[in-house]
Structure 1
Amino acid sequence: MSGEARVPHIMLVAGEPSGDALGGELMEALKELTGGRVRITGAGGPNMIAQGLSSIFLMSDTSVMGPREVIPRLPLILRRMRETADFAVRERPDVLVIIDSPDFTHMVAKRVAKRAPDIPIANYVAPSVWAWRRGRARAMARYIKRVLALLPFEPDFFRAEADLDCVYVGHPAIERLPEPGSGLEFRKKHGIAPDAPLLLLLPGSRTNEVKRLASVFGETAALLAAEIPGLKLVLPTVPHVRHLVEEAVKGWGVPVELVEGEAEKRAAFDAATAALAASGTVSLELGLARVPMVVAYKIDPVAAWAVSGLLQVPSVVIVNLILDRPAVREFLQFAAKPKALVEALRPLLVDTPQRERALADLEDLRHVMGVGGDRPSLRAARAVLEMLPASLA
């Protein structure tokens, strides 16, 4: 064959901001590993567009949450699914990578697998089928060739449950650790002494989370502030719930420093002594930043009853699932009471065997997650490039 060798063609599909962030980092890593000799097409948002993607459609068409937003937009979402699948079948990428937002991306993958079964499909950020609906792993194996896992226990699960190839590439939180020394700068900026105990309060980033947890977190903070001399309270928040948070803290009766923005949040993590957090990815971020924590969470009682019958994991705290032990204490629903939270947090705010044990557990977490090795996006890019045909690899 004469002429220059064909450049690999990789198609990426992300349907919401979390996937777009990962997609942008993946594109950067793919270009790094190939010296720029790669063609990348697909659908994404501003992060992927900034890396050179000409998106098939605007991400705002598919980035919706909840029935009230989804139902009126459903015809458009279904059309975007068809258009994305049609594009893949027509353009024949060497690998198709679907990223997060499974309600959208997996429907695209199924359509492509049915019409063009020769196109290998990777799933970057698989749905949490290990937590419930485990049978879905076997269904995924019919159209997914490889899973790029964010959590270290997922490869064993997918192999055992569905004989599905799964590679641990690492969680994006590993790429977003606090800058060394940022905690001291944070304390200086906010007038907090270097040796003052600092409790982070993280009642969630969704409206319902803040509404359900604000009063519990506030009462807990007030009780601890009355007990521990010089305790400082810091609450990282986000723009769309800041007004709710500001209104809530007015009634707490203790001073709380509100901070906003990713850089301030990471610096606050580096400055913190301990944290009280809602359940979610934030617990993993805190763990990787070596912040001992207690997790509390409340949802609608009817939803809680329904979920409790479906859950197939012993904890809702991702740190506990990764370490396979109850390293972080969790207080859910009616157990999330201020006095109980105070009892759990108190020993984490001073030098105690409990705090020492918590810090050791978080060092184990960092080791298991691969902190200090290649960045996750680079590992993910390697896993994608391994799927290329032999003539292009």
Structure 2
Amino acid sequence: MKIAFVVGEPSGDAIGADLIRALKGRNPGDLELVGLAGEAMQAEGMTSLFDIDELSIMGISAILMRLPQLLRRVGQTADAIVAARPDALVVIDSPTFSHRVAKMVRARLPEIPIVNYIPPTVWAWREGRAAKMRAYVDHAICALPFEPAVMQRLGGPPATYVGHPLMKEPGLAAIMADPRPLAGRKPGSPPRLVILPGSRRGEIDRLAGDFGRTLARLCEILQGVTAVLPTLARHQGRIEAAMASWPVKAEIVTGGEAKWRAFAEADAALAASGTVSLELALSGIPMALGYKLDPVAYYFRHLVTAWTAAMPNFIVGHPLVPEHFHEFVRPEHLARRMARLLTDTPERHAQLAGFDEIRRMMAIDRAPGEAAASIVLDLIQRRA
């Protein structure tokens, strides 16, 4: 069996590796892998056409600057997959790149099934993409429980929820098994805030100053607050430089284990809007979110049609988590909100109850990789 993969960033690489392991378990014979892979997929025996770090770009302005290179890589990837004539193609996330490859492969090899693992966020913006996907995607494998219904409503391809990759993260699993976060802070212990200004340089640069001023004001409102800021090792210098001007400093920690330990000890979070909001919700940590787009993306903000940008809100279907964008990222406002979330208030209890509901909605009885492998193999058998 030969299966082609197209991934464009580390998160997709981890999902692809999980799927490959499941496919190997279901197909103990030879399994040939072609296409694009990151380090995790390469560890499973796959050779990548080129380094996917070339595709790890974020934001409209960055994409426009790299467009010629991206289009060249699209053609190269599609040519290689067509030449390999795989039994199936699996494209994972990164729709700006992976869907262009899928379209070209469908035009030249219409007989092979194409699966989109982690489809584009049609529920957030450009809903028309869902219906267009039917021409080149046979099945969408979703990581959020509401996505299959959205795909059906918008006329997209058949879709199945298999669970979020986060559900297999050992650090998160340990927190979810501990009732302490949902029970609240131990009486008498000082409030602990986790600060998460983003995982990309632009996000950090745009939010770090406001988050630092928020912490300083919060410490005036609520005595005894301590703060921790988990970040990637490559961003530590950037965070330290930004924090140099903070009136109150946070403890900086790096690495996956340190991040989950910070989550386990946190009572509330101030975070950049993104996937981390789902991590926090599943960890039972009340939060407020902030975000500032880059100037080019801000110009196109009218294209966003979603009623919220917070994944927890989408999942429960109501504005559970407060969001603050651009001029509404106001330290005085955020500090007062965080004080409410760090203490025994209706706002804190409402979020904790909502997070408990999210856990129930996202619960799965089968590993995501196993469920995804069944979908891929079923499509191959039906096309045989």
Fold match, TM over 0.5? yes
- TM-aligned CA distance change 1:343 to 1:65, over 3 Å: closer
Per-residue CA deviations over 1:97-130 (Å, capped at 9, x if unaligned) read 0112212211111111111111110011112122
Aligned length: 375
**2:214 matched residue in structure 1:** 220
**1:190 matched residue in structure 2:** none
**1:240 matched residue in structure 2:** 234
Residues 193 and 225, structure 2, Cα contact 8 Å, conserved in 1: yes
**1:293 matched residue in structure 2:** 287
Give 1:69 deviation, angstroms.
7.9
Q: What percentage of residue pairs aligned between the two structures are identical? A: 41
Q: Which 5+ residue runs of structure 2 have no aligned equivalent?
A: 179-186
**1:321 matched residue in structure 2:** 314
For 2:252 and 2:19, locate their aligned partners in 1 and report how far apart those are by CA, in whole Å: 33
| Root mean square deviation of aligned Cα | 2.7
Deviates more, 1:31-40 or 1:205-214: 31-40
- TM-aligned CA distance change 1:109 to 1:267, over 3 Å: same
Per-residue CA deviations over 1:184-243 (Å, capped at 9, x if unaligned) read 9xxxxxxxx993321001111222222221121112111222232321100011233322
Query: Is it true that 1:385 corresponds to 2:374 in the alignment?
Result: no
- TM-aligned CA distance change 1:303 to 1:106, over 3 Å: closer
Query: Is it true that 1:82 corresponds to 2:75 in the alignment?
Result: yes
Give 1:83 deviation, angstroms.
3.3
324, 328, 332: which one aligns with 1:331: 324
**TM, length-normalised to structure 2:** 0.89
For 1:163 and 1:331, locate their aligned partners in 2 and report how far apart those are by CA, in whole Å: 31
Q: Which 5+ residue runs of structure 1 have no aligned equivalent?
A: 1-7, 185-192
Equivalent residue letter for 2:49: I
**2:174 matched residue in structure 1:** 180
Residues 175 and 283, structure 2, Cα contact 8 Å, conserved in 1: no
- SS of equivalent to 1:11: strand
Q: How does 1:1-393 map to 2 (within 5 A)?
A: 8-35=1-28, 38-64=31-57, 71=65, 74-75=68-69, 77-176=70-169, 177-178=171-172, 180=174, 195-300=189-294, 303-304=297-298, 306-307=300-301, 309-370=302-363, 373-390=365-382
- TM-aligned CA distance change 1:242 to 1:166, over 3 Å: same
For 2:128 and 2:350, locate their aligned partners in 1 and report how far apart those are by CA, in whole Å: 37
Give 1:346 deviation, angstroms.
1.4
For 2:280 and 2:26, locate their aligned partners in 1 and report how far apart those are by CA, in whole Å: 30
- TM-aligned CA distance change 1:135 to 1:33, over 3 Å: same
- TM-aligned CA distance change 1:331 to 1:310, over 3 Å: same
For 1:292 and 1:68, locate their aligned partners in 2 and report how far apart those are by CA, in whole Å: 32
- TM-aligned CA distance change 1:329 to 1:93, over 3 Å: same
- SS of equivalent to 1:180: helix
- TM-aligned CA distance change 1:234 to 1:322, over 3 Å: same
**TM, length-normalised to structure 1:** 0.87
- SS of equivalent to 2:324: strand
- SS of equivalent to 2:131: helix
For 1:260 and 1:183, locate their aligned partners in 2 and report how far apart those are by CA, in whole Å: 23
- TM-aligned CA distance change 1:351 to 1:324, over 3 Å: same
